[in-house]
Amino acid sequence: MVIGDLAVGVLEALTEPAEFARDRVPGIGLAVGRRICLVRLHLLDGTYEIFRSHFGRRDEVPGPDGTDIRATLGIMESTLALLREPGVTHLAASFDTVIESFRNDMFHGYKTGEGIDPVLKNQF
């Protein structure tokens, strides 16, 4: 496995890494007789993107039923922008869940959803 532009595959038989590194075009390639799959991966913090989209945009975006969907629209715009970048082959997103930890002792509302704008909460 090569970390950088993420090459996933069996590389122990690769004898000329300079030749491999020179051509980092995502797709399937051959490296000294072994097939390797090159991927370009984006990792998306979905929770952050939803909050950023909701609070970063001043104007409301009405959905078909009239409710504000600016968080949903924003995360879709971010996702599509990442997928449009040249060579991107994969995208993964993660979202926070309720986690009980010492932080809940320090702040009662930690990751409980308490105090979240109902318009934003509905978009999760």
User: For 46-57, what is each residue's pLDDT tens digit?
Assistant: 889 998 999 998
The reported pLDDT for the residue numbered 18 is 44
Sheet holding 34-38, edge to edge: 7-9, 34-38, 27-31
The reported pLDDT for the residue numbered 34 is 61
Share of the chain above pLDDT 70, in %: 69
Residue 59 · residue 121 · CB < 8 Å: no
Mean pLDDT of the chain: 75
**Whether the model pTM is above 0.85:** no
DSSP 10: -
Mention every residue, 6+ apart, whose C-beta is less than 8 A from residue 54: 70, 71, 74, 117, 119, 120, 123
Three-state SS for 37? strand
